[in-house]
Amino acid sequence: MTTEQAAQSAKNQRTLVGRVVSDKMQKTVTVLVERKVKHPVIGKIVTRSSKYHAHSETGEFKEGDLVEISECRPISKTKAWKVTRLIEKSRNV
* Residue 36: HSE in the Cβ half-sphere, 13 Å Cα cutoff: 3
* Radius of gyration of the chain measured on its C-alpha atoms: 15
pTM beyond 0.85, yes or no: no
| Domain locations in the chain as residue ranges | 14-88
Looking at the predicted structure, is the pLDDT value of residue 1 above 70? Answer: no
pLDDT band at 3 (very low <50, low <70, confident <90, very high): low
Q: Model confidence over 38-51: pLDDT tens digits?
A: 999 999 999 999 99
**Top-level class of domain 14-88:** mainly beta
Residue 6 has what pLDDT? 60
CB 47 within 8 A of CB 33: no
